[in-house]
Amino acid sequence: MIQWFPGHMQKTLKELEQQVKIVDVVLYILDSRAPFSCSNPSFEKIIQNKPILYIFNKYDLADEAKTKQWVTYFTRSNSMVLKTNATNGATKSLVQNALYKLAETKLEKYKQKGVQPVIRAMVIGVPNSGKSTLINTLVGAGKTKTGNIAGVTRTTQWVKVSEHIEVLDTPGTLWPSFENQQVAQNLAYIGSIKDNVVDVQELGYALFCKLCEMYPAYMQQRYNINLQQERIEAYEAVCVMRGCLRKGKEYDYERCGQMILDDFRKTRIGKITLESVEEVYEAK
């Protein structure tokens, strides 16, 4: 069972409920590799009827065809969807333009008075999805701390992007319990749940099995495996080929598991999306 809901997340959710009252737009960051799993049920109550800018971030790491389907799935009224690589400078104008579009009513109202108002946006999303990176790109400077592990940002922070845009950076938040452990696993695969609260050996093997089903050609190419074999045998063959062995030639499942996770996260296996729209519809 994967479970991770530290105190600072609970505190953040409470704070978001307050901050949302003064924002014009909610910037909802999703990791393109698992956009459904990144949808936090706790956010629904918080967002209420504020306009939403869904950001499909890290789309440079994801399966393009599946991202397209997910974008359609998330397109709804009073919202916009953008695909981004938050580390890329070109993202700045894309996001700014979308913010202005979503805050059109406010802009119009103030225009009549002859002033340009400040647009306030709140950035929310699961840990490690790229919230702080996106803000730094919008500002064009390292205003917030970023890092490739879950839980880097610990407190909320308003950041001035320009004279007319302010954004709130927030700590990545999850929810009190995962009803669906597949969702929890997907979040762990993409690094939104810290590796030290999961069993890396189990997680790595589960990812191996999942990818053999979803992306057999990529797996064959990367690890030269025989997909006709039992999964565990194929996995042990990878342990041997990659030198993941302990003394006495025992399989080092943990090291192999970590390697699979790293390979996936660094797109060495390929550009992968862990869930499909069809799956979600079938589950409904």
Ligand X SMILES: Nc1nc2c(ncn2[C@@H]2O[C@H](COP(=O)(O)OP(=O)(O)OP(=O)(O)O)[C@@H](O)[C@H]2O)c(=O)[nH]1
Q: Which is nearer to ligand X, 218 or 253 (CB)?
A: 218
Q: Is residue 153 close enough to count as binding Mg ion by CB under 5 A?
A: yes
CB of 131 to Mg ion, least distance (A): 5
Q: Which of 227, 257, 221, 222 lies closest to 239, judged by CA?
A: 257
Instruction: Provide the token pair at 168.
Output: 């709130």
- Min dist. Cβ of residue 135 to ligand X (A): 8
Q: How far is the CB of 193 from ligand X (least distance, A)?
A: 11
Q: Which does 49 bind (CB under 5 to 8 A by kind): ligand X, Mg ion, none?
A: none
**DSSP structural state of residue 249:** G
Residue 128's binding partner, choosing from ligand X, Mg ion, none, with beta-carbon cut-off 5 to 8 A by kind? ligand X
Smallest separation (angstroms) from ligand X to the CB of 274 = 16
The rounded distance, in Å, linking the Cα atoms of 111 and 77 is 24
- In the bound state with ligand X, the residue whose beta carbon lies nearer, of 183 and 244, is 183
Q: DSSP secondary-structure letter at 251?
A: B
SS3 content of the chain, % helix, strand, coil (to 5): 50, 15, 40
Residues contacting Mg ion: total by CB under 5 A: 4
The distance in angstroms from the start CA to the end CA of the chain is: 23
Residues that bind ligand X (CB under 6 A): 57-58, 60-61, 84-87, 125, 127-133, 146-148, 150-153, 171-172
Complex with Mg ion: residue 144 or 186, whichever CB lies closer? 144
Please report how close the Cβ of residue 145 comes to ligand X at its closest, in angstroms: 7
Q: Answer with the entry of Mg ion, ligand X, none that 204 interacts with (C-beta below 5 to 8 A by kind).
A: none
Q: In residues, how long is the chain?
A: 284
Q: Which is nearer to ligand X, 129 or 186 (CB)?
A: 129
Strands (E), the chain: 25-31, 52-57, 79-83, 119-125, 157-162, 165-169
Residue with tokens 């909802």: 28
Where are the strands (E) in 223-267, listed by range?
none
In angstroms, give the least distance from the CB of 243 to Mg ion.
35
The Cβ-side half-sphere exposure at 266, using a 13 Å CA radius, reads 8
The residue (of 69 and 156) whose beta carbon lies closer to ligand X is 156
Measured from the CB of residue 212, what is the shortest distance to ligand X in angstroms? Answer: 24
Q: List Cβ neighbours of 27 (8 Å cut-off, separation of 6 or more).
A: 53, 55, 95, 99, 121, 122, 123, 124, 134, 167
* Partners of 76 in the β-ladder: none
Please, which residue, 149 or 232, has the CB nearer to Mg ion? 149
Stretch of residues binding Mg ion (CB under 5 A), selected from 107-115, 153-161, 191-199, 221-229: 153-161
Of residues 119-148, which lie at the interface with Mg ion (CB under 5 A)?
A: 131-132
- As a whole number of angstroms, the distance between CA 77 and CA 64 comes to 24
Q: Residues in the site for Mg ion, rule: CB under 5 A?
A: 131-132, 152-153
